[in-house]
Structures are given as C-alpha cells and as structure tokens.
A and B are shown apart, each in its own frame.
Chain A
C-alpha cells in the first residue's frame, strides 16, 4: 500500500495547482515589480511616492495577513464572486512584486548613471532610456535575486491551501483524514514535489544567468 500510487490523482492535481499558482503569481509579480521599480526611479514625484508606498506596505505585511485581508476584505468591499484561486494569484503576485521591485531597483542602480544621461542627451525619453539602456543592463544584476524570490514564492503558495486553493498543501490535509498512511511518508512525498518545483526554478534561472553572461 503506497500513498503516492493510491492517491496519484490527488498528488498530481496538487502538484499542478502549485505549479500554476507559482507560474501565474510569478508572472504578475514580475510585471508589477518592474512597473513599480520604474515608478520608483521616475521623474514624477507622485509615481515615486506610489511605488515607495506599495513596497513598504506589501513588504512589511505578513503574507497570511495579506491573504486574510484579500479573501475577507475584497468581498466585504463588494468584490464578490472572485474564485479563490485568482484571489491567491493576486495576493501572492502583489506580495512578491514588492521584493522583485527592490531586486530590479538594485539592478538599475548598478548601471552607471552616465549612460542614462547620455541616453537622455541624445533625446531619448525616460521610458526609452529605461527600456533601451538601463533595464537590459540591470537584468544581469537582478536575475539571481529574482530567482531566489521565485523559489520563495513557490514555497509561499502553501499558505494558499488554508484559503481553499487546491495545491500541494491541500493534499496533505485531505490525506491526513484518511487513516492507514504514515503521515511522515505523506510529508516526504509532498516535500519531493516541492523540491522538483524549486529545483526546476533554480535550473531555469541558472540557464538565464548563463545566457546573460555570454551576451557580455
């Protein structure tokens, strides 16, 4: 009697749930994180303030509290009918974006300011300077910490199981109720699933780092 082969469907569903949740909230975090980093270095004071507030608020709130605020708060504000999966994507994406923003910003700060001045002095706008000159060079510095943040995100998805989202954490909850299996074995298999995901992420980012290193 093997818990993995007996309940393979549940494990597969949980695994895919975690992968999907990580992938989608990671994508949202990247988009928002880069946008907020652009806000934080923009010449418009209102955008800088917004970016700083975003990072300060989200980076300093415990993730569980954020989940509570979103899953209880949004419906209370009248935003009903959101699927718990998408609420989890929203929460994890916004939370992680605050950290990504800071990783991107440290990359931006590593690019000599003279190059941005040179770009501006040939008539490039702020967004052209950022997009053509600064961000492509900031990437090399920002990619390794972003890789770590994505691994942290994959593990943080476990918190979503407490908010009715099917992923690896919920496999453990449903199987615990089922008597006859060794609880440690269940945990072991769940851990293996997480390791597969996190190793895949580190592999992906290692690849990315190498590609960027080759392109000088």
Chain B
C-alpha cells in the first residue's frame, strides 16, 4: 500500500461517519427536533432512548432523509445529504434501516427480499446476489426460510430477514428504529443477538431501543431524548447508574421499577 493511500485512509477514519449540526424539524406547529447536534464515529454504537413522542423515530428517519429537515445540516461520511433524486437514492443505499414493523416486501420471497436491492441498485449479477443473500440469511439464522414469503415467518424471523436485506447493500451505518418493539418476548433475544454480533463485527449503529440489556452490553454511548431535544449523552453504565438530568432520572425510574 502506498503512503498516500495510508494517509487517505487515516483522514477518512478521522472524519466522523454521521454528523448532525443544528438540525430542526417541525410537524406543523410541533417542534419535533430542536437544535440536534450529534456526531457518530466509525464503528460506534449509539443507543437512543427517551419517552414516546420525544422524536427518536423522526431523528432516525432524518439521517437517511425519509424525513426532510427545516434547518441544519446532516452529513454521511463527509457528504451532505442531497435533495430527493438519484443521488439521494445512491447515498441511501449506504445507510441501512431496520423498522419496527419489519416492512418486508410481501409479494417477494425471503431470498428475493435480500437480492432486490443488490440487483436493482448495485447492479449485481443475479447469481452473485443470491449467493450473498444466502450467506447473509445463514448469518442471521434464517437460511432455511429462503424460499418462503414473509407472511409465513414469525416476527423475529421477519426482522432478521429485514436486517439481512439492509446488510446486503454493504451499508456504512445501520439505523434501527425500535427493532424489537413489535415482537413477542421470546423472539426479542434472537434479534438482539444478531444486532450484538453486528456491533462486535464493528458495524456503525444507531439504535432506538428500550432494551437496557442491549444498551449496556453493546452501546458505546447512550443518547437520551425528551421533547425533541438531546437532554443527555453518556456511557451506558454512567447513564443507567447515575443519570445527570431530572428528565432522565424520571424516565429511568418509570421503566426500571414497574
């Protein structure tokens, strides 16, 4: 490797992967995101936590521009998010997203769900795409379901397929919006385990979740949101044992002792 490319890689690694600066958004009169500043480094796992309606989903969705913003800037890997169009589509392919309600393509088989983006967006040859899809499906533990339709799978299996679908695009960062909230308790762990493995493999992740266990074991940082603001940021052990803000104390007391 030449010195130049080493230097380039070094600077690339120094640039944070996701940077939000002064992001504001309204839904009509509701100021749902207020002056959000958030920087996510390569390989970092950030858990976003906070009461319902505080703007966590909206924050997640602005990062791949499923929601537009009113003010502020968002950059992914040093590049600002472009306007809706081909260029935005290209950038979105680098940002994986996993939804609370799975959102698998109902008319396609599990395998087709994982190959569609590769074939249509990355222009990968079908053979190669299927091979990669099978590898990913095995990795998330649903390899045997490849030829079934989403409706024939359990919630936990569907969510793991959704993770494989996002991974198939080789994303630089993965966004998870309450990935286990729609699942029966016995299926939560199988999804969390896949996410934990991803985190260990060095994937950059933004995870909206109330799963304390995951936050403690996998997160580098916890971001606490309330009323459209980031109220507190801390290491998970600090945040859970010794929250600084009253809002966080109040919130934790509600979810920890019921």
Contacts and interface: CB of A to CB of B under 8 A. Distances in A.
Interface in B78-106: 84, 86, 89-97, 99, 101, 103-106
A129 to B, nearest CB: 9
B66 A121 contact: yes
B104 A122 contact: no
Interface string A114-129: 1101111111110010
A124 B106 contact: no
Contacts of B151: 216
Contacts of A124: 89, 116-117, 120-121
26 contacts: A112-B101, A112-B103, A114-B101, A115-B103, A117-B66, A117-B97, A117-B99, A118-B162, A121-B92, A121-B95, A121-B166, A122-B166, A123-B91, A123-B93, A123-B117, A123-B169, A124-B89, A124-B117, A124-B120, A125-B86, A133-B107, A137-B106, A137-B107, A215-B107, A216-B106, A216-B107
Interface of A: 43, 112, 114-115, 117-125, 128, 132-133, 136-137, 215-216
Chain B interface size band reads 20 to 34
Nearest to B113: A118
Nearest to B116: A132
Contact of A43 (B84, B90, B120, B165): B84
Contacts of B99: 114, 117-118
Contacts of A137: 106-107
B149 interface: yes
B64 interface: yes
Nearest to A216: B149
A83 to B, nearest CB: 41
A114 B107 contact: no
Given A122-B116, A122-B168, 19 more contacts: A112-B103, A114-B101, A115-B104, A118-B97, A118-B103, A119-B105, A119-B116, A121-B92, A122-B93, A122-B117, A122-B166, A122-B169, A123-B117, A123-B121, A124-B89, A124-B121, A132-B120, A215-B107, A216-B106
Q: Which 3 A-B pairs have the closest CB atoms?
A: A123-B93, A122-B117, A114-B103
Given A117-B66, A216-B149, A122 B121 contact: yes
Contacts of B89: 120, 123-125
Contacts of B107: 133, 136-137, 215-216
Contacts of A119: 105, 116
Contact of B97 (A112, A121, A136): A121
Contacts of A117: 66, 97, 99, 103
A128 B92 contact: no
Interface string B189-217: 00000000000000000000000000000
A136 to B, nearest CB: 5
A118 B121 contact: no
Q: Which of A43, A118, A120, A122 has the most CB of B within 10 A?
A: A122
Contacts of A136: 107
Nearest to B120: A128
A121 B121 contact: no
B122 to A, nearest CB: 8
A120 B166 CA distance: 11
B105 A133 contact: yes
Contact of A115 (B105, B117, B121): B105
Contacts of B166: 121-122
A119 to B, nearest CB: 7
Contact of B165 (A122, A125, A132): A122
A122 B133 CA distance: 14
Nearest to A43: B84
A137 B103 CA distance: 14
Nearest to A44: B84
A119 B86 CA distance: 14
